[in-house]
């Protein structure tokens, strides 16, 4: 079965320079006045449940397929989408060489080895005010 690309969203928040993927998705949910899981689903992400929108390697690695789906839904180019993921730091601040998309165990092993939070984030309130609500990658 072939799955098509997502429909284009009517309201898309412009990604900010240096913004994390999770921040951008959260801002779009607010802008569209809908739950986060609905935006994640509209972007073509594999939503686990309505209370847990984090797909495997959410905000960490963006596959070419995921980038195409997000571009179809938002008009944001794939290189910008990839730039909002931790993979931009691969080989410097983090080592993501063990992450294989679709393999939850490889993600868990890499998360346990690296200093990053693969699921969730922490943001400084003063930084959020300074960035108008977007938290940096």
Q: Which two tokens stand for residue 49?
A: 């449940």
> Exposed, middle or buried by CB within 10 Å (0-12, 13-18, 19+), for 21?
buried
pLDDT tens for 71-102 read 999 999 999 999 998 888 888 877 777 776 66
Using the Cα atoms of residue 1, residue 39, residue 101 and residue 56 in order, give the sign of their dihedral.
negative
- Please tell me the predicted confidence (pLDDT) of residue 36: 84
- Please tell me the predicted confidence (pLDDT) of residue 82: 93
CB neighbour list of residue 124: distance below 8 Å, 6 or more residues apart: none
pLDDT tens for 9-28 read 889 999 999 898 988 998 89
- Please tell me the predicted confidence (pLDDT) of residue 12: 94
pLDDT tens for 24-78 read 998 899 899 998 888 888 898 876 655 555 566 677 778 888 899 999 999 999 9
Q: Is residue 103 pLDDT above 70, yes or no?
A: no
Give the whole-angstrom CA distance, residue 96 versus residue 11: 33
Is 62:82 a contact under the CB 8 Å cutoff?
Answer: yes
Q: Where are the domains of the chain?
A: 21-130
For the entire predicted model, the pTM comes to 0.79
pLDDT band with cut points at 50, 70 and 90 for residue 124: confident
């Amino acid at each position: 079965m072939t799955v098509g690309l997502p429909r284009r969203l009517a309201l898309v928040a412009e990604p900010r320079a240096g913004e994390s993927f999770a921040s951008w998705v959260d801002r779009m949910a607010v802008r569209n006045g809908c739950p986060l899981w609905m935006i994640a689903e509209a972007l073509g992400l594999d939503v686990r449940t309505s209370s847990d929108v984090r797909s495997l390697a959410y905000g960490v690695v963006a596959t070419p397929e995921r980038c195409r789906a997000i571009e179809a839904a938002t008009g944001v180019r794939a290189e910008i989408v990839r730039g909002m993921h931790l993979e931009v730091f691969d080989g410097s601040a983090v080592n993501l060489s063990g992450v294989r998309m679709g393999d939850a165990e490889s993600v868990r092993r890499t998360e346990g080895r690296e200093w990053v939070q693969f699921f969730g984030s922490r943001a400084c309130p003063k930084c959020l005010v300074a960035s108008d609500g977007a938290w940096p990658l």
